[in-house]
Amino acid sequence: MGMGNDLADVLIVGAGPTGLVLACDLVRRGAAVRIVDRSPAPPRTSRAKGPNARSLEILDDLGVADEVLAAGSAPLPMLKYRDRLPVAETDPWADSAPSPDAPYDRGRLIAQWRLEEILRDRLAGYGVRVELGREVVGLTEAAGGRHVDVTFAEGRTERVRYVVGCDGAHSSVRKLLGIGFEGTTAEDQVMVCGDVDLAEGALDRTRWHQWFDEDGAVMLCPIPGTRTGWWFQAGPERDGRGRPLAPTADGFRRLLARHTALPGRVLTRAELLSTYRVNVRMADRFRAGRVFLAGDAAHVHAVAGGLGMNTGIQDAFNLGWKLGLVLAGHAGAELLDTYEEERLPVAARTLDLTSERLRATLEAIRRPGGGLDAAITPDTTGLGVGYRGSSLARVHDEASRPDETPRPHETPRPHEAPRLGDGLPGSPQPGDRAPDAP
């Protein structure tokens, strides 16, 4: 990618899953893409546990699904404990199976950093590499509105056609645009997380273990591709005044000894430690001129149902083809207005859905045998997300029948081809996810 006078089509800020999916999608459409991240090394977090069914379809479209499937594992049955004893086991996916119209019926467990590695390799195959250690500190839409001047922390200003902020909940891009991020942070709903190693053989790696007690919880899920790695999540330790303590390896050992039958010493290493607070916030718009927001920069919500990374990947996929067509001159710039129109309602629904699933889960775990399966519903696969209300769905409808008011009960006359969704119950409508055909 040339610097200097070659105007990049799109500068993507943030090289997590959202930014990488967008970069892969745009570059295969022939766009000149640059992707920067302020981290000096590829960002490593322990947040997301993997793509859902809809995200797997997107990764398939980008040509990396097989690699993701190989590097990950199937979602595991959940073994639930109370007072250190196993009380119930649930496999939320026991009754689902792939079908011709939905080849992925469930998500995949894969470490977020591993998924990012696969996407970075894909991008490198197109000759694009993440520019690390580059922080955006200024954005100005140039007079005439045909490009954006982007200023970096090291003092350089570079000119690009479009910018997309995929830089997370604390997004610099969103702050530079002055876009509000309204919502709530529940200071009392706190979880400590990290990647840990347990002594080999300490726990069965074919299960996601969940200890829920009156006074706290510990969850351990094996990290695919490792022999001894586990995702650790727990209610925090608290000080004398009830305030949550920061996560530490020793704290994790104490939590383990308190809730499980394992001695603390089986935990040999803990890293990527973080405190997760339930944040439910949404940007009041996903665009300012030639700058867009996607993923956590645009919306954050409860972790229940695992939709954070997935909603971001799907934002990227919605924006990618639109920017691609506009940059190639195959569509007018007004197509870009449909990104916010289509994705903002999805984000709003996701905020509601995840808050509701969190409530259901907190309710479920008060009873022995309740667990994280309460967060999984057909909604969390992402396969039901669609845009029937979008102007794109409507325009299509009006164009196909310019002179008449559509009458839904009318059977097409024999010489007319049936329109999508005409009179067939359960058939896809404009704006729906198009099922795979056998």
- Same domain, yes or no: 333 and 370: yes
Beta bridge partners, 157, equal 151
- Same domain, yes or no: 358 and 301: yes
Q: Which of 381, 405, 422 is the last residue of a domain?
A: 381
Is pLDDT of 388 > 80?
yes
- Same domain, yes or no: 162 and 172: yes
Average pLDDT of the chain is: 86
Q: What is the pLDDT of residue 139?
A: 97
Main-chain phi, psi angles of 339, to 5 degrees: -65, -55
Angstrom distances, CA of residue 29 to CA of 20, 21, 33, 212, 320: 14, 13, 10, 48, 9
Asked if residue 378 lies in contact with residue 305, where contact means CB atoms within 8 angstroms, the answer is no
- Same domain, yes or no: 50 and 146: yes
Range 394-404 average pLDDT? 50
For residue 66, give the CATH number of its domain: 3.50.50.60
Range 252-272 average pLDDT? 95
Range 112-123 average pLDDT? 95
Range 125-135 average pLDDT? 97
Range 264-280 average pLDDT? 89
Q: What is the pLDDT of residue 18?
A: 96
**Is 84 a domain residue?**
no
- Same domain, yes or no: 21 and 108: yes
Please, what's the largest Cα pairwise distance for the chain?
79
More confidently predicted of 200 and 410: 200
Range 407-412 average pLDDT? 40
Distance from C-alpha of 422 to C-alpha of 433, rounded to nearest angstrom: 16
Q: What is the pLDDT of residue 306?
A: 61
Residue 192 amino acid letter: V
- Same domain, yes or no: 68 and 137: yes
Number of domains within the chain: 3
Q: What is the pLDDT of residue 421?
A: 45
**Is 94 a domain residue?**
no
Q: What is the pLDDT of residue 303?
A: 64
Residues contacting residue 392 through CB under 8 Å, at least 6 positions apart: 338, 342, 430, 431
**Is 346 a domain residue?**
yes
- Same domain, yes or no: 171 and 201: no
More confidently predicted of 192 and 412: 192
- Same domain, yes or no: 258 and 292: no
Chain centroid, CA 31 distance in Å: 23
Distance from C-alpha of 316 to C-alpha of 313, rounded to nearest angstrom: 5
Range 388-405 average pLDDT? 63
More confidently predicted of 347 and 221: 221
Instruction: Place 3 in a pLDDT band, splitting at 50, 70 and 90.
Output: very low
Asked if residue 332 lies in contact with residue 325, where contact means CB atoms within 8 angstroms, the answer is no
pLDDT digits over 140-160, tens only?
998 788 899 999 999 999 999
Q: What is the pLDDT of residue 103?
A: 92
Is pLDDT of 2 > 60?
no
Q: Which of 278, 309, 328 is the last residue of a domain?
A: 278
pTM value is 0.89
Selection from 151-165, 180-194, 343-357 with the highest mean pLDDT: 151-165
**Is 81 a domain residue?**
no
Asked if residue 320 lies in contact with residue 22, where contact means CB atoms within 8 angstroms, the answer is yes
Residues contacting residue 291 through CB under 8 Å, at least 6 positions apart: 139, 141, 148, 162, 163, 164, 165, 173, 177
**Is 79 a domain residue?**
no
Selection from 23-32, 176-185, 355-364 with the highest mean pLDDT: 23-32
Pure H helices in 365-416: 391-400
Range 336-359 average pLDDT? 83
Beta bridge partners, 132, equal 37
Distance from C-alpha of 237 to C-alpha of 364, rounded to nearest angstrom: 22
Among 158-172, 241-255, 388-402, name the one with the lowest average pLDDT. 388-402
Name the residue range of residue 431's domain. Answer: 388-438
Q: Which of 357, 381, 405 is the last residue of a domain?
A: 381
- Same domain, yes or no: 107 and 33: yes
**Is 137 a domain residue?**
yes
- Same domain, yes or no: 176 and 192: no
Q: What is the pLDDT of residue 404?
A: 43
More confidently predicted of 406 and 265: 265
For residue 250, give the CATH number of its domain: 3.30.70.2450
- Same domain, yes or no: 136 and 249: no
Within 10 angstroms of residue 337's Cβ, the number of other Cβ atoms is 13
Is pLDDT of 396 > 60?
no
Question: Which of 124, 169, 178 minimizes the C-alpha distance to 312?
Answer: 169
Q: Are strands 216-222 and 229-234 parallel, antiparallel or unpaired?
A: antiparallel
Asked if residue 313 lies in contact with residue 345, where contact means CB atoms within 8 angstroms, the answer is no
**Is 53 a domain residue?**
yes
Is pLDDT of 307 > 70?
no
Q: What is the pLDDT of residue 381?
A: 79
- Same domain, yes or no: 118 and 58: yes
**Is 164 a domain residue?**
yes
